[in-house]
Amino acid sequence: MFRPLFTGSGLDAVVRCLGAATLPRVEERSRDEAAALAGVAEHGEILRPGGLPANLDDWLRAVFAASPEPGHRGVHFETSFKVSFKGDPKVMSGAYGTVYAPHVTGGTPDVFAFWVSFYDETGAKRERPLVSLRLGDLKTGAGQAAGTLPPPEESWQLRYYAIAVLLWLSWPTSTDLDSCEVAWFTRDYDAELVAEPELAPSQREHCWRITSVSLTEDLLLESVKTLQELTERLTSRPVEQWNVGPHCASCRGFSACPAQRSPIERLGVELGTGISAANIGRVRAAIEAARRLVEQGDRVVDLYVQRHGEVETRPGYTLRRERRQTREVTRLALPVLRESYPEKYAAMVRETASVGRIAEAMGEAKPGALTEAVLDKLRAVPGALTESHSFTLRERRDRTE
């Protein structure tokens, strides 16, 4: 018996770098068992009939909600597939912890809904049934936390799951494809914070965001060919193709990779010998790798604080996410300010107007009630005032004693 040649969840890494398929899985850091168990519990709570949040369930079931004619439909949770792309692709459902041939692959989509239509809109029976599919994968942490979750249109994991389900539904040999949509289901921590700012993250009602894309039949057929070629390469000859890039930082085989060392270590080694024409390219590559590592670290820290609320970073200091409001007074506001505040107009407007200048002209050290009254006038004019908000990490000294 063999382990799968590759799994759906690991396919993005293999497509980017064939060498990743040959590496043992290595955990770069100590595993956060509490976070892992929380993710498993959250999946178990949601991925069951009646457990999906309403917006996720509605999105899935829309695949057959508008199809009243007789047909076959279903919603499936965490169904495992074993798929062989050796020659003609073949699929069967079932556990894939062990497989019976070295070319068999495996994957488990979190949830999918399908519709098979046997009759056309006139009521005539089709020569070949028509298949529609919607498939979602729930992300509670790993890729989202590392900032490495690809857009759904670029995800080979989602593409693999869709192909596995469609093959199971006899596509493309015996059924035609009507539509195929795939999506990430991700926690929207910013929406949760806006809705319930006074509660700790663990106490807030979860909000789930759907990021979806339609996959065309041409793309899926081309993807099947790619997976057939990938299977052939991985099973017929040794693979030693290492592709170093931004994706390396999230690779689970990073520590075992012969093409990698810590970017900080590489940068230190190169700088230690001095800059020259011989190594300036390597120095530049190491700098870019180190920068990507720092950016990834920022994303991980930001998501941690989103989930857990403010945390102590050192004695007397806490790290928290703060909401930042941006308000821009545009040129469309100038006629309103000139007409409504002729005596204060010169103080409000220099080259342009701003909320700060309006507050100063109204005699307020910082925007208060008088400034808000002016802004209310501007809000009545479309485009005169643009308002948005974002969240940023701030380390603050705890002044409570």
3-state secondary structure string across the chain: CECCCCECCCHHHHHHCHHHHHCCCCCCCCCCHHHHHHHHHHHHHHCCCCCCCHHHHHHHHHHHHCCCCCEEEEEEECCCEEEECCCCCEEEECCCCCECCCCEEEECCCEEEEEEEEECCCCCEEEEEEEEEEEEEEECCHHHHHCCCCCHHHCHHHHHHHHHHHHHCCCCCCCEEEEEEEEEEEECHHHHHHHCCCCCHHHCCCCEEEEEEECCHHHHHHHHHHHHHHHHHHHHCCCCCCCCCHHHHHCCCHHHCCCCCCHHHHHHHHHHCCCCCCCHHHHHHHHHHHHHHHHHHHHHHHHHHHHHCCEEEECCEEEEEEEEEEEEECHHHHHHHHHHCCCCHHHHECCCECHHHHHHHCCCCCCCHHHHHHHHHHHCCCCCEEEEEEEEEEEEECCCC
Q: Given this model, what pLDDT does residue 66 score?
A: 61
Cβ–Cβ < 8 Å for 193, 226: no
Residue type, 369: A
**Which candidate, 330, 382, 380, places its Cα nearest to that of 358?**
330
Query: Which whole-number Å values give the CA distances from 263 to 248, 336, 381, in the listed order?
Result: 11, 55, 52
Q: Given this model, what pLDDT does residue 22 score?
A: 57
d(C-alpha 285, C-alpha 282), whole Å: 5
Give yes or no: residues 33 and 176 share one domain.
Answer: yes
| Mean pLDDT on 236-249 | 59
Give yes or no: residues 213 and 294 share one domain.
Answer: no
User: Structural domain tally of the chain?
Assistant: 3
Give yes or no: residues 377 and 282 share one domain.
Answer: no
Give yes or no: residues 292 and 375 share one domain.
Answer: no
Q: Given this model, what pLDDT does residue 169 score?
A: 95
**Which candidate, 51, 8, 264, 41, places its Cα nearest to that of 159?**
8
Give yes or no: residues 223 and 273 share one domain.
Answer: no
Give yes or no: residues 161 and 63 share one domain.
Answer: yes
Cβ–Cβ < 8 Å for 340, 362: no
CB neighbours of 173 closer than 8 A, spacing ≥ 6? none
Cβ–Cβ < 8 Å for 169, 175: yes
Torsion of CA 56, 83, 215, 175, to 10 degrees: -100
Q: Is residue 306 part of a domain?
A: no
Give yes or no: residues 88 and 235 share one domain.
Answer: yes
Q: Given this model, what pLDDT does residue 246 score?
A: 62
Q: Given this model, what pLDDT does residue 193 score?
A: 84
Say if pTM beats, i.e. exceeds, 0.85.
Answer: no
Q: Is residue 15 part of a domain?
A: yes
Q: Is residue 392 part of a domain?
A: yes
Q: Is residue 125 part of a domain?
A: yes
Cβ–Cβ < 8 Å for 75, 112: yes
d(C-alpha 201, C-alpha 57), whole Å: 24
Q: Report pLDDT digits (tens) over 12-54.
A: 878 877 666 555 444 444 444 555 555 566 776 788 888 899 9
Q: Is residue 311 part of a domain?
A: no
Q: Is the pLDDT at 354 greater than 60, yes or no? A: yes
Q: Locate 327 and state its tokens.
A: 């308000």
Give yes or no: residues 341 and 293 share one domain.
Answer: no
Describe the crossing of helices 263-272 and 280-308 by its angle, rounded to 10 degrees.
Answer: 150
Give yes or no: residues 158 and 216 share one domain.
Answer: yes
Please state the φ and ψ torsions of residue 184, each to the nearest 5 degrees.
-90, 135
Q: Is residue 171 part of a domain?
A: yes
The answer to whether the Cα torsion of 24, 29, 33, 37 is positive or negative is negative
Task: Give the Cβ contact number of residue 315 at 10 Å.
Answer: 6
Give yes or no: residues 159 and 269 share one domain.
Answer: no
Domain with 339, as residue range(s), is 317-397
Please state the φ and ψ torsions of residue 228, each to the nearest 5 degrees.
-65, -45
Give the highest mean pLDDT range of 272-276, 277-281, 297-301, 363-367: 363-367
pLDDT-based confidence at 236, cuts 50/70/90? confident
pLDDT-based confidence at 282, cuts 50/70/90? confident
Q: Given this model, what pLDDT does residue 241 score?
A: 59
Please state the φ and ψ torsions of residue 291, each to the nearest 5 degrees.
-65, -45
Give yes or no: residues 63 and 174 share one domain.
Answer: yes
| Mean pLDDT on 313-333 | 89
Q: Is residue 64 part of a domain?
A: yes
Q: Is residue 4 part of a domain?
A: no
Residue that is written with structure tokens 């670029």 in the block: 154
Give yes or no: residues 392 and 297 share one domain.
Answer: no
CA angle, 204 then 208 then 209, to 5°: 135
